[in-house]
Amino acid sequence: MKKFKKLSALLETSSGITPNVPTLKRFIKILSGFGYDRLYIGMADAYKIESEPRFGYKRGGYTVSDLKEIDEYAKTCGIEVVPQIQLLGHLHYLSKYPEYQGLFDTKDTLIVGDERVYEFIEKMIKAVSEGLSSRVIHIGLDETFGIGTGNYLKNNPPADKKELILRHIERVNAILEKYGYESVEMWGDMLLEKGESPVTLEEIRSRLPKNSSVIVWNYEVKDEKKLSEMLSDGEKVADKLAFAGAVWKWLGFGANNAFSTDCILEQMRVCEKFGVENYLVTLWADNVSPCSVFAALPSLFVAAEYANGNIESIDDLNKDKFLKAAGISYDDILSLDFLDNPFKEVSLFRSSSSVWVLYTDILLGNFDSIIPSGAAKAYLALAKEYDGKVEGEYGYLFKMASSLAKLLAVKATLPSKIRKAYAEKDRAGIERSISLLRKLKKKSENFLNAYEEYFLHDNMPFGVEIYHLRLGELIVRCEYAVRRLKAFLDRGAKIEELEGGILPLGYNPMPTISCSIMVDPKLLVSYCLS
């Protein structure tokens, strides 16, 4: 027996990585086999507006024809495709262009009440309405923290944030009705935000459009009391209550399926008690996420099996059903998570070790202090495992994963080896380090080629340049380190980066076992060039 009226997935396409049409069709077919009802396509500027050439410029994006093709295919699979667009915040990609700067309150958020804004919003709505037949639309509205604090104040008196959002919803809804939309959905975080506000939950309810849905979201809370408080507030503002959880695929090359499913199942149990109509499993791609959407299939399957009343816990899974729908075994695709957990330890913490081992600087040793012993051996074993899975429909993913694991096997211990050899003035050790640096450079080139193959197979080409920059920097730093080490051997040139010891990381990472350490991607600023 189904536990929710709707089970949905939300796939983001606007964070620098945009799945191509064949990939979306493939994904839709799998969702259908799992038992999903809806796919929300998250598009901030990942779609084309004929009269706005700068909208999504050089960032990919779907044409009206693309959207129609996706929509028609989804119908044959029993999937409703719903546009999830941003009609208030998360539009910073546009604010840098002179022709759009006058529309923005802050660099991320549009000016509420400005007529030019609503003329622009109508163009956005018209574009997606022509491509997707669903008369349900999700208009975003999340995380608009600076609303009413910037350019808005040049022509308007100060106003409460919630009041501004409600005014905006009223204006946007009038446009939506013009294009035949019957239901409007929005994130609930700003409307339900705690703190002082003259706008009560009761007033919010009275001013929201009829047949609207406020989506409560949280991606990591499992505590029933806290979830109940969030859902209780949501009930007070909307007749149709929805909740969004997430597959944590935006941190590293793996999808953190163990952590994700643990959260999703607990959240679903609480949502069921509250009569939530629509549960969404979101798949965000922050910072040009390196993780394939197909790496998230285990979590999507678990969510579907629970929502459709087939399981009560992950131990009840029918993995043959997964194989039939996805075309690969559950355990095989789940093994991609081991890139962030090479020791294969039972851990329910989100992790991104694949990223910080990859990008820790060779000479600076940013994360040397937290790389565990035995990591190199674990990565080599992992590469061997992946090498046995490079055939078939998903072979390109395992080829990429194997290439990365081989790179990490060298990279994990090389910075500390270089530092030790330099400290001890060990010429033979430094010679070995130079040899390993050349090996690492070659493996980095191999991985870049494998990652590029994956990227262009599944996505539009826009965004691959970010990985050329990120991995290109690693390659360049290998060459630089070789030159510095040779200069030391030839003439004793001091290497300042290697002088002194390595201080602790400087903050307390979330508690984890061994290599499963979550590092905030913002700490990798020099490598995040998106």
Q: How confident is residue 264, by pLDDT bands cut at 50, 70 and 90?
A: very high
The mean predicted confidence, pLDDT, of the chain is 93
Q: How confident is residue 507, by pLDDT bands cut at 50, 70 and 90?
A: low
Euclidean distance between CA atoms 303 and 260, whole angstroms: 10
* Helix, coil or strand: residue 367: coil
Higher model confidence: residue 512 or residue 273?
A: 273
Q: How do 183-187 and 213-217 pair as beta strands?
A: parallel
Q: How confident is residue 506, by pLDDT bands cut at 50, 70 and 90?
A: low
| Residues 428-447, mean pLDDT to the nearest whole number | 98
Q: How confident is residue 501, by pLDDT bands cut at 50, 70 and 90?
A: confident
Euclidean distance between CA atoms 103 and 52, whole angstroms: 14
Domain regions of the chain by residue span: 6-334, 341-527
| Residues 210-216, mean pLDDT to the nearest whole number | 94
Residue 208 has pLDDT above 50, yes or no: yes
Asked, colleague to colleague, whether 6-334 and 341-527 share their fold, the answer is no
| Residues 142-170, mean pLDDT to the nearest whole number | 97
The pLDDT, as a whole number, for residue 514 is: 32
| pLDDT tens digits along 361-371 | 999 987 888 88
Residue 520 has pLDDT above 60, yes or no: no
Query: Per the confidence metrics, is the pTM higher than 0.75?
Result: yes
The pLDDT, as a whole number, for residue 368 is: 83
Structure tokens of 442? 């070659």
| pLDDT tens digits along 333-374 | 999 999 999 999 877 778 888 998 998 899 998 788 888 889
The torsion angle over the Cα atoms of residues 120, 123, 127 and 129, rounded to 10 degrees, is: 110
Q: How many CB atoms lie within 10 A of CB 300?
A: 29
CA nearest 152: which of 88, 87, 56, 85? 88
The pLDDT, as a whole number, for residue 530 is: 31
| Residues 296-318, mean pLDDT to the nearest whole number | 97
Amino acid identity at 194: K
CA nearest 35: which of 275, 353, 291, 321? 321
Residue by residue, DSSP assigns 436-462 as HHHHHHHHHHHHHHHHHHHHHHHB-ST
| pLDDT tens digits along 373-391 | 899 999 999 999 999 999 9
Amino acid identity at 175: I
Euclidean distance between CA atoms 295 and 253, whole angstroms: 9
- Class of 6-334 in CATH: alpha beta
Residue 523 has pLDDT above 60, yes or no: no
Residue pair 171/126 in contact (Cβ under 8 Å)? The answer is: no
Residue 529 has pLDDT above 70, yes or no: no
- Class of 341-527 in CATH: mainly alpha
